[in-house]
Structure 1
Amino acid sequence: MALSEFCSVAPEVVRPGHLFPRRARNEGRRLGSAAVVAFITRLARALTIRMSVLSPKDSAELIAKNARDVTIDPNGISKVSNVVLDCYNRGLVGTHAWRDHPLHPKVADDTAAQWVFLVDALNFNFWADNSAEYFAVRWNGALHSGYYSLCAVVARALEEGVPILSADFCRSISLQQVQHIFRSDTSTDIPLLEERHRVLQEWGHVLSSMYDGSFANCIRECNKWCQVLLRMVVKNFTSFQDEGTFEGLKVSFYKRAQILVADLWSCFNGQGLGEFKDIGTLTAFADYRVPQVLAYFGALRYSPRLTALLAKGNLFQNGSKEEMEIRGATIHACELVRKELKKRKLPSAEINSVLVDYCLWDYRRRHENEVEHVPFHRVRCIYY
């Protein structure tokens, strides 16, 4: 992340020609020179993380403008904008929807932050080779699939007395323990179990060694700047390093790192550990469901070659050109939707790219039967 980019994202933190960030100077007046030194140290670490890698927003624009198999249709963008606007008018767009879900934390405290981090560390790859039956977990009388199956896994483990939110427990967790925790209530096992085992061990190890076992300590170090938190997570937890190379340039998507910040924002209703002054700098989260919805509305158009590959269920490689074009175009399309809504005089602070993503992801779940005929791109990886 270049200094100029950080300045444009959070101008109140650093301005060219200033030796000390404004935030640090204010903290220094209040707390003394120790606060200045501590904040500058954290800021410098964040600024030096992967400075040669384009941000998700810049990566998406680059990819969308140079893609050969994926194009963005303005008419489709208008349709999607209308859908988001309708959801907004019906009260379906907002952080309250996240908090209202029965599987999400109800008390916004350090434990909730730990829960969000654990879940988003494991929030990837739930689709099944046989779409007739997915990995699913029964909890509280209901069978949950997809992302919510993961939430149910955590709820079930905690109910059974498994200390799954403990960093010390996870750093030494065995594969057999992970197999038991992720046991399915259908005949389909969760994909990438061994990868989830490694992610859990890293999650526990880094939290224990760097943050005294508590993700809340990590959050407090970012001084309410989500871009600083995002870069800290990406630097210290390798499973969040969702990057690739496109046309010779290093690009990033950071799906899980960004949704981690967004979920904290939602869980805490933009307050306390979820207060971020630059929440509007996050992009949509490039997974496999949001592009499916965008294609359903005609916002994404695929070439005949790519359409044929998708239709036959081709397994794409993470980092392949086709995959990066779909993911990059997804992020950029959601940015265009956000800008379209801003033109309609809606409060930009109310409908940012996070909420556009939430809306489309929820739309797919509510209209699964209608959308399912549109094939999604299949990739086996830990990033989404």
Structure 2
Amino acid sequence: MEYLSPLSSSLYIMQNAEHICENSDCPFNLNCWANQELTPSATDERSIEWIFVTSLLNFSFWSNSLVNFEVLFRNKTYTGYWALCAAINRALDEGPDILNPKVYQSMTVEQLRHIFRSHTAESIPLFDERLNTLKDAGKTLLEHFNGSFKNALFSCDNSAAKLLKLLCDYFPSFRDYALYKGKQVSFLKRAQILVGDMWLCFEGKGFGFFYDIEQITAFADYRVPQVLNYFGVIEYSKDLTTRILNGEEIANGSELEVEIRAATISAVHVSDFFNLCLHCISRRL
């Protein structure tokens, strides 16, 4: 089945959106972002595998509990996405080798629970889904890419678009599609984050060079639109605003959710946010 690309999807959705609009007159500027201490500093093959594993598992960190999942690593605690990074880095210090597909394709429940052990009473959300995703990905790498994501990356010939397609073809957890007013649309948030992280880690060179990097868009998650709306860059309808203020859940794949995600991509693309996005392409707000 053919899907519109994330950018084409967003432009189409925003042309038809009923609940959200962009405000191109709103000034907003950020000049610099601090370097993160948990992401790889080396530009080697291990960094490729680190980016793949963290991208695989980069979903659903917040629960309805008042206590969040936290990871203690080198005397500091981390939450959200950074808790994932801290847990991966802690496992690299302690073992097992969480970056080796031969290891994680046969990962046991006990092993992964130890890797993701929390500093609080709250465990990492969707544990079973993470375990299955990790094991399936390890098997796929061993069967199709000689046991290394580096080989998958090489097969894409420095094309971001080809890498996005490969991720969706071989690793189902990266598929991020929706149906909007009769059109099949895509956002590919986590697949795009992987490409962006690779580009950032290697500074657009070597393993991180993509001749079509401009096809990567902003990442339509649940945090970025909150920031854009706060600064007035995207504006919600009265109905949508009321629903959010009342704490109503916006269903995954619903018209409202699709429009919010599309507005995020479109607003960044057509404004000065695009350069900011490329600079902090994988940093979580």
CA contact (8 A) 2:196 2:281 kept: no
Distance 1:175 1:109 in 2: 30
Q: Which amino acid aligns with 1:335?
A: H
Q: Which amino acid aligns with 2:279?
A: L
1:31-59 deviations in whole A, cap 9, x for unaligned?
A: xxxxxxxxxxxxxxxxxxx5x10000000
Equivalent in the alignment of 1:101? 36
Aligned pairs (5 A) from 1:114-193: 114-130=49-65, 132-193=66-127
Equivalent in the alignment of 1:369? none
Which of 253, 256, 260 aligns to 2:187? It is 253
Aligned pairs (5 A) from 1:58-73: 58-73=8-23
Equivalent in the alignment of 1:53? 3
Alpha-carbon deviation of 1:280? 1.4
Gaps of 5+ in 1: 1-49, 342-350, 365-384
Alpha-carbon deviation of 1:353? 4.3
Alpha-carbon deviation of 1:322? 1.1
SS at 2:271 equivalent: helix
Gaps of 5+ in 2: none
1:322-373 deviations in whole A, cap 9, x for unaligned?
A: 11111011100111214x87xxxxxxxxx27433756xx66x4xxxxxxxxx
1:65-109 deviations in whole A, cap 9, x for unaligned?
A: 211111112223xx23xx13xx1xxxx15xxx5xx4221112111
CA contact (8 A) 1:290 1:357 kept: no
User: With structure 2 as the length reference, what TM-score do the two structures score?
Assistant: 0.94
CA contact (8 A) 2:55 2:194 kept: yes
Q: Which amino acid aligns with 2:155?
A: E
**1:113 paired to 2:48:** yes
CA contact (8 A) 1:133 1:186 kept: yes
Equivalent in the alignment of 1:354? 278
Distance 1:121 1:129 in 2: 23
Distance 1:335 1:199 in 2: 31
Alpha-carbon deviation of 1:149? 0.5
CA contact (8 A) 1:117 1:215 kept: yes
Equivalent in the alignment of 1:75? 25
Aligned pairs (5 A) from 1:173-252: 173-252=107-186
CA contact (8 A) 2:200 2:281 kept: no
Aligned pairs (5 A) from 1:246-325: 246-325=180-259
Distance 1:313 1:195 in 2: 26
The total of aligned residue pairs comes to 285
CA contact (8 A) 1:171 1:202 kept: yes
Deviating above 4 A after TM superposition, structure 1's stretches of 4 or more consecutive aligned residues are none
User: With structure 1 as the length reference, what TM-score do the two structures score?
Assistant: 0.71
Distance 1:101 1:357 in 2: 12
Alpha-carbon deviation of 1:314? 2.3
RMSD over equivalenced CA pairs, Å: 1.8
Alpha-carbon deviation of 1:313? 2.5
Between the two proteins, what is the percent identity of the paired residues?
A: 39
Distance 1:210 1:188 in 2: 37
SS at 1:75 equivalent: coil
Distance 1:312 1:186 in 2: 29
Distance 2:20 2:195 in 1: 28
Alpha-carbon deviation of 1:261? 0.5
Distance 1:279 1:188 in 2: 38
Q: Which amino acid aligns with 1:140?
A: R
CA contact (8 A) 1:114 1:216 kept: yes
1:288-317 deviations in whole A, cap 9, x for unaligned?
A: 111010001011111222222212332332
SS at 1:315 equivalent: coil
- Structure 1 residues 271 and 114 mapped into 2: Cα distance closer, same or farther (>3 Å)? same
CA contact (8 A) 1:334 1:357 kept: no
SS at 1:239 equivalent: helix
CA contact (8 A) 1:136 1:185 kept: yes
SS at 1:276 equivalent: coil
CA contact (8 A) 1:280 1:352 kept: no
- Structure 1 residues 244 and 327 mapped into 2: Cα distance closer, same or farther (>3 Å)? same
SS at 1:231 equivalent: helix
Alpha-carbon deviation of 1:144? 0.8
Equivalent in the alignment of 1:376? none
CA contact (8 A) 2:49 2:148 kept: yes
1:2-40 deviations in whole A, cap 9, x for unaligned?
A: xxxxxxxxxxxxxxxxxxxxxxxxxxxxxxxxxxxxxxx
